[in-house]
Chains A and B, each alone.
Chain A
């Protein structure tokens, strides 16, 4: 398997622009997570899905952030409008979850976002 695939790997944009980050989870996994990593705040969980349904979005910082999972093989994280403080590395991770499962996460390589 190719692992979790994220795109783009790097994005530089100007304040106010819309940013869309994409993630393809590992085939057969039914849970998908979006994390954000900065030096100051560490690794923050933004939102996670199970069977394409958002389960917990309490980590989404504000209404400018939205995430979708239209099918089992694709998810997007959108920021509109972007601000300099959104600059971070955004990670997508997937796992196979059932009651009693151990729930190891498999991470993508991240999307490094710079908002000027």
Chain B
């Protein structure tokens, strides 16, 4: 299967805490992408990590990638209520533009 599998399915934390979401996949990848979906909206691209990278930062986001374990994690530091959304990982397979999504992690940040 080409899709990523996110874990946990749901996560509830308090504002200010860190949120960690995990992704496992099965294929060889060119890169791995994370997207956010606010309720009732389309997905928005958050961050991309290439297969030859191990860690990447963007603002309060930190992404890691372990190609030997075929896994990635997304860390959101100092979470805010506005971070409440569903988060999806999308492994980008070598030589193809096809992106398949899992069911995502639903993050709730309580004020």
Contacts and interface: CB of A to CB of B under 8 A. Distances in A.
B90 to A, nearest CB: 8
A33 B44 CA distance: 15
A73 to B, nearest CB: 18
Given A102-B48, A102-B92, A91 B99 contact: no
A107 B33 CA distance: 14
A45 interface: yes
A109 B44 CA distance: 10
Interface stretch (B59-67, B71-79, B101-109): B101-109
A85 B101 CA distance: 21
**Chain B interface extent, by class:** 20 to 34
A42 B97 contact: no
Given A99-B95, A102-B48, A108 B42 contact: yes
B87 interface: no
Q: DSSP majority for the A interface?
A: strand
Given A43-B88, A91-B43, A102 B98 contact: no
A75 interface: no
A115 B33 CA distance: 33
B31 A105 contact: no
A109 B42 contact: yes
A17 B97 CA distance: 33
Contact of B101 (A42, A48, A101): A42
Interface centre among B43, B100, B103, B104 (most CB of A within 10 A): B43
Nearest to A99: B95
A55 B96 CA distance: 10
Contacts of A82: none
28 contacts: A4-B42, A31-B97, A42-B101, A42-B102, A42-B104, A43-B43, A43-B101, A43-B103, A43-B104, A45-B98, A45-B99, A45-B101, A48-B98, A50-B97, A55-B98, A91-B43, A101-B97, A102-B50, A102-B92, A103-B31, A103-B92, A104-B33, A105-B33, A105-B43, A105-B99, A106-B45, A107-B44, A109-B41
